[in-house]
Amino acid sequence: MSTRIADTYAIINIADLSNIDFSQVGETDETTIRKSLDDSQFVLKWNTTPSFISDNTVVPVEELTHDEALVLMATPAWSEEIPVE
């Protein structure tokens, strides 16, 4: 995937992790995905819809734009609060 901002970001249930073909998305493997703090979901990004999405092998919980993904990643479900000292 190029360095440009991805067209689509998707929230995927962690149970679908084994169905991901990382050659079709912006992440390289399961060690590079962003997980929710409770490890129940993760984020994928792409510019061209992966076959595992288009054939419904994996059904995203939600599809987002880059800006929407940034907002979601800032929520308590995805980011720990950093205490101010």
Helix (H, G, I), strand (E, B) or coil at 70: helix
Identify the pLDDT of residue 6. 87
Give yes or no for residue 4 having a pLDDT over 80: no
Q: Per-residue pLDDT tens for 9-64?
A: 999 999 999 999 999 999 999 999 999 999 999 999 999 999 999 999 999 999 99
Identify the pLDDT of residue 47. 94
Q: What stretches of 35-84 show up as alpha helix (H) in DSSP?
A: 51-54, 66-73
**CA angle in degrees (0–180, nearest 5) for 18-35-20:** 20
List of residues 6+ apart from 85 with CB closer than 8 A: none
Q: Are 45 and 27 a contacting pair, CB within 8 Å?
A: yes
Q: Per-residue pLDDT tens for 61-84?
A: 999 999 999 999 999 999 998 888
